[in-house]
């Protein structure tokens, strides 16, 4: 573990005013989005769409790293340029999603455990040779009557620790992503309680496993009311509850914190991020790691007319710019 490499990579990923673009949708998720828009669900169509994302001119002004799926890091443009070489030429860090989805955990309906530790060290060896400098592992938590259970939170925290340590042994920065799902009718106060408890379980387990905290990035959901809640959260309220939670429950020396957009509307995710930066004194760099909230306009445009790649890329870069502005509190 080279802590200098880990710190440098983490610093690059959260350098202001940039954020991370997640293009790590699994084949199943990508195909599902294509189906809804009438796009053929073939490997070639997925490659074509990702070429649009990777080759967008000027996106490097706003994006520090791309999180990719296994299929994506092996793909090339139609004229044979590797996606990874294009990202390197733009000085964009290459990330890789290494978890392998979730399965039911225990007897509580809604509790999930993340899979993917088997063979992870060998996969990290390969990804490092391909050019990856950071990785991502996601766990999901449903807020319900009996969920998430403490056993489930502990089990996922143990997996985070094993994953993060393996990454750091390969000089790859681990993104730890505990996503509290926005589905449900929970209040913002209930979301706060679950988020705080989960963070209080995760960080002691990471530290006791020997994970180097300044060499990791936390990718977290915002503290926000559930989508079906009668009281929807305004940006100032989301910012207040989220910052209070993070300041109280995340170590001040962490490499950085990035938000997922997770079920929020595109504009909502941008406004909520912007509101966070009205508070000028934050102990850690705080930015975005959005997927859909940046990709949506481009994907919709491309689905309607796949020959007009320039128009779709323009929308992609504009969305990245809006969130870059929000990451410093300057979005209007």
- The 10s digit of each residue's pLDDT in 106-155 is 888 999 999 999 999 999 999 999 999 999 999 999 999 889 999 999 99
Per-residue pLDDT at 46: 95
Is residue 134 within 8 Å of residue 95, measured between CB atoms? yes
> Pick from 109, 160, 167, 108: which is nearest to 139 by CA?
160
Does the pLDDT at position 223 exceed 90?
yes
Question: How confident is the model at residue 69, as a pLDDT?
Answer: 95
For residue 64, CA distances in Å to 10, 20, 97, 108 come to: 10, 6, 16, 39
Q: What pLDDT, on a 0 to 100 scale, did the predictor assign at position 4?
A: 96
**What number is the average pLDDT over the span 179-199?**
95
* Percent of the chain residues topping a pLDDT of 70: 100
Mean pLDDT of 18-46: 93
pLDDT at residue number 107:
87
Beta bridge partners of 82: 76
For the entire predicted model, the pTM comes to 0.95
- Which domains does the chain show, CATH number per domain? 3-326 (3.20.20.70)
Asked whether the predicted pLDDT for residue 179 surpasses 80, the reply is: yes
Mean pLDDT of the chain: 95
pLDDT of 327 above 80: yes
Element (H, E) at 208: helix 188-208
pLDDT at 332 (0 to 100): 87
| pLDDT above 80 for 288 | yes
Residues belonging to the active site: 177, 219
């Amino acid at each position: 573990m080279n802590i200098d490499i880990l710190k440098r990579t983490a610093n690059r990923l959260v350098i202001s005013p940039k954020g991370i673009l997640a293009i790590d949708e699994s084949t199943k998720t990508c195909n599902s989005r294509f189906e809804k828009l009438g796009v053929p669900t073939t490997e070639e169509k997925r490659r074509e769409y990702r070429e649009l994302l990777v080759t967008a001119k000027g996106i490097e002004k706003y994006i520090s790293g791309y999180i990719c799926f296994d299929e994506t890091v092996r793909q090339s443009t139609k004229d044979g340029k590797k996606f990874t070489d294009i990202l390197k030429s733009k000085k964009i860090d290459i990330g890789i999603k290494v978890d392998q989805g979730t399965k039911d955990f225990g007897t509580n309906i809604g509790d999930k455990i993340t899979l993917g530790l088997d063979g992870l060290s060998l996969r990290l060896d390969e990804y490092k040779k391909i050019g990856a400098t950071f990785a991502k592992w996601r766990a999901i938590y449903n807020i319900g009557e009996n969920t998430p259970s403490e056993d489930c939170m502990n089990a996922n925290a143990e997996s985070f620790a094993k994953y993060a340590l393996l990454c750091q042994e390969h000089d790859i920065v681990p993104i730890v992503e505990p996503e509290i799902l926005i589905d449900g009718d929970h209040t913002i106060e209930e979301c706060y309680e679950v988020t705080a408890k989960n963070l209080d379980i995760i960080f002691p387990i990471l530290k006791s496993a020997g994970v180097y905290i300044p060499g990791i990035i936390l990718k977290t959901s915002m503290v926000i009311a559930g989508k079906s809640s009668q009281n929807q959260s305004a940006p100032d309220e989301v910012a207040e509850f989220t910052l209070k939670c993070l300041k109280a429950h995340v170590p001040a020396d962490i490499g950085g914190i990035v938000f997922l957009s997770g079920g929020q509307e595109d504009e909502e995710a941008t406004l909520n991020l912007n509101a966070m930066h009205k508070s000028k004194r934050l102990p850690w760099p705080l930015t975005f790691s959005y997927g859909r909230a940046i990709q949506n306009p481009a994907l919709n445009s491309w689905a309607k007319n796949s020959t007009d790649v320039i128009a779709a890329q323009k929308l992609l870069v504009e969305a990245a710019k809006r969130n870059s502005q929000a990451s410093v509190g300057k979005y209007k």
